[in-house]
Structure 1
Amino acid sequence: MNCIRVATEEELGEVLEIRRKVFVEEQGVPADLEWDEFDASPDSCRHFLVRDGRSPVAAGRWRPYEEGLAKFQRIAVLAPWRGKSVGRLLMNEMERDARERGCSGVVLDAQRTAEPFYRKLGYRAQTGETFLDAGIPHVRMDKIWD
């Protein structure tokens, strides 16, 4: 397994295909809610891609947020690779990249079903209140580095 920062249109296409499979097909998110201005090019934000050999299996992105925080978004692992530390690899690489760019921590909106995964990585719920995003229950979480 390797995780790379997306640098080409082809790699971005692989990222978008993973998200289509996970969010649009599997979870029923309307396509018009899944894609946004941060998907326009590899440089629109910091996209990451995990491959198992040549097969794309996971993706995520981050962008600068407020007060030196990174906002992690669109974290997706294809179903056959879940529970195999692929998400951990992706998150570790994205965190490393955000730290290298001067971020002091991360904010993300976790699907409630993924909250235990993020807790294992050291994230905490900011308020614990649930909100809907694309009709899916979420909770705002963060992780601040020392």
Structure 2
Amino acid sequence: MSLKTIEAASEKEIQDALSIRKLVFVGEQQISQELEFDGLDDECIHFVGYSNSEPISAGRLRILNNKGKVQRICVLKEFRGLDAGKQIMEKIHQTAKDHNVSQLVLNAQETAIPFYEKLGYTISSDFFYEAGIRHAEMTFNLN
């Protein structure tokens, strides 16, 4: 299986990323479409992962004042555990560095915290609920 992760540049690539988010967050996790598609997509850099030209993973990065907000990281269920999520995060880290971002922050679902900790993120808040799911804020310094 050939996994490839890219910064989504074309309208088709962005739509591929949005379709994965819809399948995972709206379909699988039952998050409302209004919460998932929050009107901020136009301000973000989108990422999409492919397995043999089929989209399987997605994420986005919002940059505000040299800080990056990593959001909407997701992988189709049948492709989890195959490094697709790690590839998305590595691509986001590289893009953030290219934009002179010094720190990344994300709100991790509780079940995803071990994944982010393996990548070097540390918990930086108490637990809170977002879209009815327990989360914690996590940070990562790129320097």
The structural deviation recorded for 1:36 is: 2.0
Correspondence 1:137 to 2:142: no
Q: TM-score, normalised by structure 1?
A: 0.93
Q: How many Å separate the matches in 2 of 1:72 and 1:65?
A: 11
User: Which residues in structure 2 correspond to 1:94-109 (within 5 Å)?
Assistant: 94-109=92-107
Residue 62 of structure 2 is aligned to residue 63 of structure 1: yes
Q: Which residue of 1 aligns with 2:40?
A: 38
Query: 1:56, 1:145 → 2: CA distance?
Result: 27
SS, match of residue 37 in structure 1: coil
Deviations 1:89-135 (A, max 9, x none): 110011000011100020000000000000000000003x1111111
Identity %: 39
User: In terms of mean alpha carbon deviation, does 31-40 or 72-81 score higher?
Assistant: 31-40
* Kept in 1: contact 2:93–2:142 (CA 8 A): no
Say whether residues 1:52 and 2:54 are aligned partners.
no
Shift in Å, 1:144: 0.8
CA deviation after TM superposition for structure 1 residue 4, in Å: 1.0
Unaligned runs of 5+ in 2: none
Runs of 4+ residues over 4 Å off in structure 1: none
Aligned to 2:115: 117
Contact 2:56/2:75 (8 A) holds in 1:
yes
Tell me how far 1:88 sits from its aligned partner.
Answer: 0.6
Contact 2:7 2:46 in 1 (8 A): yes
User: What is the CA RMSD across the aligned residues, in angstroms?
Assistant: 1.0
Aligned residue for 1:9?
11
Aligned residue pair count: 141
- 1:39 and 1:18 map into 2 onto residues whose CA distance is 14
Deviates more, 1:77-86 or 1:3-12: 3-12
User: What amino acid is the match of 1:51?
Assistant: Y
Partners of 2:35 and 2:131 within 8 A in 1: yes
Q: Measure the CA separation in 1 of the matches of 2:59 and 2:23.
A: 14
Aligned to 1:27: 29
SS of structure 2 residue aligned to 1:64 = strand
Amino acid at match of 1:63: R
Partner of 1:89: 87
Q: By how many angstroms is 1:8 displaced?
A: 1.6
Q: Where in structure 1 are there 5+ consecutive unaligned residues?
A: none
